[in-house]
A and B are shown apart, each in its own frame.
Chain A
Amino acid sequence: MYSPKILEYASKTFDDIVIPDEIVVSEGIACGDALVAQGEVNGDTVRFAIMVTDGCLLSRAMSTYLCVKGSGRRLASVRRWILSIKEAAERDGERMFDCWDIPYMPERLECLMAPVNALVELTARLVSRSTTVYRMKDTEALLDCDACVRSSSVLWANDTAPKVVYEEKNNEVSDDFREKWCRVSKCRLDDGDVVLLRELTPHVTSLDMEYIRHEKMAQCVFSNMVRAGMSDALVDPQWKIVYYQIHRKAVVRREIEAIASFVGGIEASFIKGTNTGALYDAEGIFRLHLDYDILCFSEEAAWKLGCFLLRRGFLMYKDVFSLKKVDVRGKEVVQGHFHMQKILDDQFRLVIDVNYPGFPVGRIGLFFPSYDGVFISHENQFVITLCHTFKHRNVYMKDINDLYLMATRWKMDKTRLLTLIQDAELGLFASVALNYICSSYCVSAEERNLILSLVPPGHEDDCLAVKGWPYAAQAMLEVKRLDLTRRKQRQRDNPRTYLMPLVMVSEPITGMALDAVVRKLPTMRRVSNTVAVEDIGGVRVLLTGMGCFLDKQVGCNVSVSRDHLRTRLRAIIEAAGIRRELLMPFVTAPRLNGWFF
């Protein structure tokens, strides 16, 4: 069917590991060839690989040809070379086919050009690239969630790209401003709240909208406007974003169903919004979320899930993979957290937020819900949400709404729930959150009794220690500081390790493979059942069940040679016996540029 030249290049493997500065993902609109080009620049030399993830032999042959002929040359020279190929093809498409000794097939020109175009874009990006450097956030002072910080980029040896320091937006608002929006974000409004809603919402400014979106309140305010019959105000195009968030929830359903089916077969469970959504549906409120949270009860389950997601086209969100050693009753447990992302229909971002083997309580605690192999009980779900309410710097009103609806709509074993709250030492959090609900949610006497009965004995007055929660930023800080001070009496706050994906695999690396690595490579040592680490010259590479990762924290202080890293990765891959076809072509997720509308 094709020439020997096509067959030769299409079957040749260009077996290179690229630790990319830039990634270009291309999906031909007419041809349907899907490919990825990734490149790194060391000094003035470019190293690149073009992987055809789903494509025809022409596209594969051209990809390999470009890699063989171009990778390892000077970036400027590769740029000139690829532009000349593109221009020649535009002038005379037939010549492209002559070069490959195949008859001219105009309808297949795009198959040959897709890799060329991808390399044109990749080299353009590499020429103008810059490295974003994040300032290390002092999460200890602010008690912000230390799993959510952007960790700094790795300092690569011979990296000539200009550095751009990322300036985080100052989202600070006054407590009064926060209070008014929090009040109208509750799922239960009193008459005064409705009056406030009617005052606020017809004049939403872009800054208001940015704030309520950032704080995940927009959906709650929107729902309350719908319930209050404020359809005129909803004509404001600023609310479009919520309509599309509602639509996204419907679109991602097909993916969530497939994931749920897999999750049902491993030691894992959906937590938070996925479970509480039905409570909102019954109230006529939209409960929307970008992230779908899954708790895995073991490292192994987390790797299985991660690999499954990779196979389904998810990619790792490069800023959010971290490990932290947590003392749990004198035993050291490695807690992990990562995000995987997939773009559906080229528009809708779906994030799977994975925690294992327990759910974080503040900075240094872990909650281990009981799991019957299928479900996490309502009582345990309640505790997880209670933990999350105090996880981030500010309180999300959706968490308080969840607590209110869970407490009043779910049938729960009160004694069991109180025991769970007490065992996890969450009395303070329960007191603060549940007393706030009783004072602000327009609850009936019956609901009030029910809600307050969930505050463990002895903690009834804990809430009095903080004033102004959840509106005052200082109040949140005080609650968390109080909790941390108590926990620190028994536990240490270990540093968190932030990881950058280097190589990931579509099937989990087994414990046996890890044994083999540790046996063959004396530089590797095991840190847990499924994680081994190699620390050479201050550069730490971790091998997990999902693949190899670089400790970014070390990498931003020490200059890391990518050539050296590549050598180590090859050695690890070989020692682990990882087959080439299991290596995922690329692993970090691109960002969406925003909505079409």
Chain B
Amino acid sequence: MLSYTIRRAGGMLISIFLVISVTFILMHSVPGNPASVLLGPNATPQQVESLKESWGLDRPIWLQYYKYVTNVLRGDFGKSIYFQKPVLRIIFQRAETSVFLGLMSLLVVVGIGIPGGALASIKPNSWLDNLMLLLALAGASIPSFWLGLMLMNFFAGTLHLFPSSGFTSVIETGNILNLKNLVLPSIALGFVNAALVARAARSSMLDVLRKDYVNTARAKGLNERTVIIKHSLRNAAIPITTIVSFTFAKMVSAAVVTENVFALPGIGSLVVQAILKRDYPVIQGVMLVVAILYVLINYLTDITYGYLDPRIRYG
């Protein structure tokens, strides 16, 4: 397991390096001089000159690249033009909302998706199974921002069950009830994906339930619950893990819009704000952090495979 973990880590580091390179190329494709672009239209020529010098923008491109990579590795993502604060600090301030939103949405996805799929697989073509199919199709087609607004209209506007927007830090205020503000957004984000996970769980379970060892388990008199949970679900877990991690990546993307809909002070709304203000250092920083996070999640998924299925470790 250890050597597998290390081998995978090598691949992950290469990916992170490439992600940094893609960001560098993207930001250097902005028309005009990067220094004046990064500083915005109101910068003085002196400021432009000093940034050029400190970032080495007057030197050859490969030296600039080297400088950029070392800056990023030291955690120096530059300074926001609009907030006048280091980019990384702003991202950290906004991270809490997004992390809670992500975890709660994941809870919705896993909590509805896996049991739903497992139940559907036990009775294929039942009403539950058909309902799941219908929901999965709808889930792939309904924009999460639309669902979010509809939920807001009904649960916040009509029933007054949940607050319609905003979020105050749980860590700073110590008030766990603030998470109530994230219930509707995480349903909007999670629900459409839960059905997709349910479909994957269903087909993967159906596959496993036909296997000989499941017959053997039943034949030796184990009760159905043990057969389903211990013998089937664990073996069906690999494709499910894949789809859950794939879903998570999709949710990070959708969260950009959902945070905007519910006026949540997260990383997604930060990036939209930065784009409207042309705050390039923030755009660049957020993209980098999110992409690195994505690579890390993929890495953890790979490690989970290795844990779930020993054959993969030695493959």
Note whether A and B form a binding pair.
Answer: no
Residues of A within 8 A of B (CB): none
